[in-house]
């Protein structure tokens, strides 16, 4: 039997009806790709979550959901607003059992989390600056590599923290932060965050501020009264929404920083014994909980894998149904084209050749569907890390 003829005829048919062919192949391709896509995403999520969790011995935070605490401390997902006092961090350090790194996670800028922390965080996560330099003073920030690329941020630029209450004119104003550097890519959630000193996040929160120096003679007109060092000024006093070299000295905090809020802490015990003592010590604490991210993650992944199994089974059923629908579509299409096949038979084309022609059409569409499925999975593999990191935020 001459194979080239049926192959050519089938190819010409699908090429002539390329829109319909692509629609059918695309639909089949997506259905075929879905179960694999779910598997790829789950594996990537597992890898991302596990790598981060295994590199973090303990996390401390306010009482509440352990999963929320793990996701917010490790992946900066915005959780509940409950906070700890900074003094808890000091207490942990003073215990001599562990190093503690505070994390303030309440604010965002351009949709990305602002992580208020201390310089130890960068050493702990092995983060280095790829462009510019590290934060040096109040109001400075460094941005993650992916965020910088996506938003076009670079050292020397600036960022405004997102306003908390748009219609509250007496509320906290957004702070203009100076970008001093861009971090090197780490392939983790750090790539999509903005890092600043924890004091800068307290500044955004309104716990500190900077304004005209009322002691200076040129601002004397703004002073209403002075009484034993207590100065009362009128509304003409300028409040600063940006920290500059010129005004940095005017910024100050009201209250004891030990009482200021943080939302989580990364806790690195000095040894296994210290870890056991710490976890035991905080077990019954009504305000603070200490979790092992790896243990929390194991529970979370167990649920995720069970769900994955169900979803893949459901998608396999959908794929089966789609294959049945595709068979029906082919059947109906061939029936609608009966006249065309009768014409070919009249010319003298044999039944085998006609069957082969139909088979080639099915083959072309099947191959196109497979190529689309492979393409989608390849694309997903490229983007999976970013998809998961964004999804965790």
Partner 1 sequence: MPDGLQLTDLRFAYPGGEASVTVRSWSVNRGERVALTGPSGAGKTTLLRLIAGILEPQSGSVSFDGGDLRAMTAGARRELRLARMGVVFQDFALMDYLTVAENLLLPLRLGTGATLAHEVTARGLADRLEVGRYWNKPAAQLSQGEQQRVAIARALVHGPELVLADEPTASLDSARKMTAAHLMLADARERHAALIMVTHDPELLPLFDRVVSLEELAA
Footprint on this chain of partner 1 (rule: CB under 8 A): 2, 4-6, 8-9, 12-13, 16-17, 340, 343-351, 353
Residue 385 · residue 188 · CB < 8 Å: no
Give the nearer residue to partner 1 in terms of CB position, either 1 or 170: 1
| Residue 358: CB minimum distance to partner 1, A | 13
| Residue 7: CB minimum distance to partner 1, A | 9
| Residue 334: CB minimum distance to partner 1, A | 15
Helix (H) or strand (E) holding 283: none
Residue 167 in tokens: 């219609």
| Residue 343: CB minimum distance to partner 1, A | 4
- CA–CA separation, 3 and 224 (whole Å): 99
Give the nearer residue to partner 1 in terms of CB position, either 111 or 350: 350
Give the nearer residue to partner 1 in terms of CB position, either 17 or 77: 17
Give the nearer residue to partner 1 in terms of CB position, either 119 or 342: 342
Residue 184 · residue 90 · CB < 8 Å: no
3: left (phi over 0), alpha (psi -120 to 50) or beta: alpha
Residue 222 in tokens: 């703004």
Q: What is the dihedral of CA 373, 376, 381, 386, to 10 degrees?
A: -150
| Residue 112: CB minimum distance to partner 1, A | 53
The dihedrals phi and psi of 250, each to the nearest 5 degrees, come to -80, -10
Residue 51 · residue 392 · CB < 8 Å: no
Residue 287 · residue 6 · CB < 8 Å: no
Give the nearer residue to partner 1 in terms of CB position, either 9 or 377: 9
- CA–CA separation, 129 and 140 (whole Å): 14
How far is residue 102 from each of residues 90, 105, 132, 259, 343, measured CA to CA in Å?
Answer: 9, 10, 24, 13, 80
Give the nearer residue to partner 1 in terms of CB position, either 11 or 124: 11
Give the nearer residue to partner 1 in terms of CB position, either 4 or 166: 4
Give the nearer residue to partner 1 in terms of CB position, either 14 or 384: 14
For every residue of 104-156, DSSP letters joined together read B---EETTEEEEEE-THHHHHTT--EEEE----STTEEEE-HHHHHHHT--TT
């Amino acid at each position: 039997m001459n194979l080239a003829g049926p192959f050519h005829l089938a190819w010409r048919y699908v090429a002539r009806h390329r829109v319909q062919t692509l629609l059918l192949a695309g639909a089949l391709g997506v259905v075929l790709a879905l179960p694999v896509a779910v598997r790829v995403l789950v594996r990537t999520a597992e890898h991302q979550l596990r790598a981060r969790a295994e590199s973090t011995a303990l996390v401390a935070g306010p009482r509440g959901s352990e999963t929320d605490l793990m996701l917010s401390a490790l992946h900066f997902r915005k959780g509940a607003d409950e906070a700890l006092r900074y003094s808890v961090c000091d207490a942990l350090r003073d215990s001599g059992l562990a190093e503690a790194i505070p994390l303030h996670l309440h604010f965002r800028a351009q949709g990305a989390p602002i992580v208020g922390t201390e310089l130890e965080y960068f050493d702990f996560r092995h983060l280095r600056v790829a462009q510019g330099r590290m934060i040096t003073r109040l109001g400075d920030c460094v941005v993650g590599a992916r965020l910088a690329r996506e938003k076009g941020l670079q050292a020397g630029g600036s960022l405004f923290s997102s306003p908390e209450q748009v219609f509250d004119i007496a509320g906290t104003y957004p702070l203009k932060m100076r970008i001093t550097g861009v971090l090197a890519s780490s392939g983790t959630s750090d790539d999509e965050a903005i890092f600043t000193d924890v004091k800068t996040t307290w500044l955004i929160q309104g716990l500190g501020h900077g304004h005209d120096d009322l002691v200076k003679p040129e601002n004397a007109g703004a002073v209403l009264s002075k009484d034993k060092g207590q100065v009362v000024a009128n509304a003409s006093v300028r409040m600063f929404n940006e920290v500059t070299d010129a005004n940095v000295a005017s910024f100050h905090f009201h209250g004891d920083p030990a009482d200021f809020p943080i939302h989580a802490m990364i806790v690195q015990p000095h040894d296994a014994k210290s870890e056991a003592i710490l976890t035991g010590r905080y077990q019954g604490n009504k305000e603070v909980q200490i979790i092992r991210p790896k243990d929390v993650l194991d529970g979370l992944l167990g649920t995720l894998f069970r769900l994955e199994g169900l979803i893949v089974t459901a998608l396999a059923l959908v794929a089966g149904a789609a294959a049945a629908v595709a068979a029906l579509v082919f059947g109906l299409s061939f029936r609608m084209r009966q006249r065309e096949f009768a014409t070919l038979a009249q010319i003298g084309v044999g039944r085998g050749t006609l069957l082969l022609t139909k088979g080639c059409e099915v083959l072309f569409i099947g191959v196109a569907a497979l190529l689309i499925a492979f393409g989608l999975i390849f694309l997903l593999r490229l983007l999976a890390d970013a998809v998961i990191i964004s999804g965790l935020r």
